[in-house]
Structure 1
Amino acid sequence: MRPHTFRRVPYAAALAFLATCSAPLHPAHGPDTERLHAVSLRPALITRAAWHADQKDVRGGLLYDASATAVFVHHTDNPNAYTCGTDVPAMLLALEQRHIALGWDDLGYNFVVDRCGGIYEGRTGSADRDVRGAHTEGFNAGTVGIAALGTFGPGQIPPRPMLQSIAAIAAWKLAPGVNPLGQVRLVSSSDDSRYPKGTAVQMNVISGHRDAYQTDCPGQSLYDDLPWIRQTAARLREQAARDG
């Protein structure tokens, strides 16, 4: 696989190191969400420093985008029987080191979510800027990569706190005016993706990795939950617009 205010669900006593940081088709843009304030949507995050990311091996020259118009959801293919908080930092460190060894400069995903709903900052700077990840071959520009920590094939049901946190990140990181229920036009930048380089593709604003690359990621069970994630992200943005 290639790299591949919201009232957040309480996360296991918030952990000692938890840090608070940053159907029919629907149109991609909606006037109600133009009033969004990103700060009000920013969920609680566990920073790279908190999970002891290997910053010394991160390569320079990371790219930044003006905004994010789409989200790609992944799973990491890790076993699901881990202890939130205790096991996760080491799992993320191993994942980061593997991605760096593959030449992806840093952890490929912008964010990783554990089964308890904990949200971890992935790629350096993702909490504060629209950092271009290395998560979806051919479609990294202007998109956010969110990985569910675990494996979610048939019968491996993603926990609801995990789904809620994925929706919360999407609601926060998508540019104001982008409708999580809508579609977006993206252009492939790689022949290694599902579409030849230069091909314009209409995709859901919140898509699965398999929509852009030949893979079963994010697993059938998580893929089946994408409509729920879209609806929840849209609801969070609508609430933020009303409260703004």
Structure 2
Amino acid sequence: MLLGCLPGLVAVLVLTLCARGAERPAADRLARPVPAREAAAHRAPRPRIVPRTVWLGAAGRVQPPPRYDDKVVAVFLHHTDSPSAYDCADAPEIIRRLYAGQTGARQWDDIGYNFLVDRCGTIYEGRAGGTDRPVTGAHTQGFNHRTAGIAALGTFTEGAIVPRAMTDAIAALVAWKLGLADIDPRAGVRLVSSNSLSRYKAGTTAILPALSGHDAGFMTSCPGAALTARLPEIREQAARLQGRTKARLTAIP
């Protein structure tokens, strides 16, 4: 099914943001914060990440404490299905409206994505909890644990142009985030589905790419055919940024 993500900048936002594939976290999943792994063989530099205070402004609300996993072993890539020809200066407003839709009509405790990237390659912090921490997001139904969600602002269906600045930024972010747990972006990883509404029955262990599109875990066309086609080169670029050469072919526990 084709799921929309963000209908554009309108006075009243009716959010359908890849929505049925994003899972509202349960309060009983609270956990003590777990620091990122201190030593990893393949670290990549931390890219510049704009803090959430830049886009949140006065729109913030009281919310429960963040939830954490032990580490991040995979990343899911999304698109927001919103107009792609925006001025990059408007990105904070786009994200703020996205946040308003999820915390308002959908009654989520925070924005679901851990990070968002605009067409100029600017990376924004999304969900609260610390960019270097394994924050449990609400972006891919069934697979929010031990993963991070990155949203590309725009629509990237078949034939759409995916800006190089955007894919470069995504690769840098993936390389850094997965490098904290020494995960090869080209590898397969084992993830356990927590929700039978995903592509896998709850409790099923699935082997998915360490960098996957949203559609790998949920029945959706997100992140769009054009962005999906760029995943192999993004994985390779992220691996190079980690200083890797040979790909790891076996699945990572």
Range class of TM-score, shorter chain: 0.7 to 0.9
Shift in CA distance, 103/159, structure 1 to aligned 2, threshold 3 Å: same
Give the structure 1 partner of residue 174 of structure 2: 170
Following superposition, the deviation at residue 36 of structure 1 comes to 3.5
Detail structure 1 runs of 4+ shifted over 4 Å in the superposition.
none
Report SS of the residue matched to 2:189. strand
Distance 2:60 2:163 in 1: 34
Give the structure 1 partner of residue 100 of structure 2: 97
Distance 1:205 1:54 in 2: 35
Superposed CA offset, 1:171-222 (max 9, x none): 1111332111110011100011111111111100100000000100000000
Superposed CA offset, 1:210-244 (max 9, x none): 000010000000001000110011000017xxxxx
Asked whether the equivalents of residues 186 and 235 of structure 2 are also in contact (C-alpha less than 8 Å), the reply is yes
Report SS of the residue matched to 1:50. helix
Q: 1:202 aligns with which of 180, 185, 207?
A: 207
Asked whether the equivalents of residues 111 and 126 of structure 1 are also in contact (C-alpha less than 8 Å), the reply is no
Shift in CA distance, 215/167, structure 1 to aligned 2, threshold 3 Å: same
Asked whether the equivalents of residues 68 and 142 of structure 1 are also in contact (C-alpha less than 8 Å), the reply is yes
Q: In percent, how many aligned pairs have the same letter?
A: 47
Following superposition, the deviation at residue 55 of structure 1 comes to 5.8
With normalisation by structure 1, the TM-score equals 0.81
**Stretch of structure 1 that moved more, 173-182 or 200-209:** 173-182
Give the structure 2 partner of residue 214 of structure 1: 219
Ranges in structure 1 where 5+ consecutive residues have no aligned partner: 5-32, 240-244
Asked whether the equivalents of residues 193 and 203 of structure 2 are also in contact (C-alpha less than 8 Å), the reply is yes
Give the structure 1 partner of residue 48 of structure 2: 44
Q: CA RMSD in A?
A: 1.7
Shift in CA distance, 55/61, structure 1 to aligned 2, threshold 3 Å: farther
Following superposition, the deviation at residue 81 of structure 1 comes to 1.2
Shift in CA distance, 193/80, structure 1 to aligned 2, threshold 3 Å: same
Following superposition, the deviation at residue 54 of structure 1 comes to 5.3
Shift in CA distance, 214/207, structure 1 to aligned 2, threshold 3 Å: same
Please tell me whether residue 180 in structure 1 is matched to residue 199 in structure 2.
no
Q: 2:147 aligns with which of 143, 146, 170?
A: 143
Please tell me whether residue 235 in structure 1 is matched to residue 240 in structure 2.
yes
Distance 1:58 1:150 in 2: 29
Report SS of the residue matched to 1:144. strand
Asked whether the equivalents of residues 77 and 152 of structure 2 are also in contact (C-alpha less than 8 Å), the reply is yes
Report SS of the residue matched to 1:41. coil
Matched letter for residue 179 of structure 1: D
Following superposition, the deviation at residue 62 of structure 1 comes to 2.1
Matched letter for residue 190 of structure 1: N
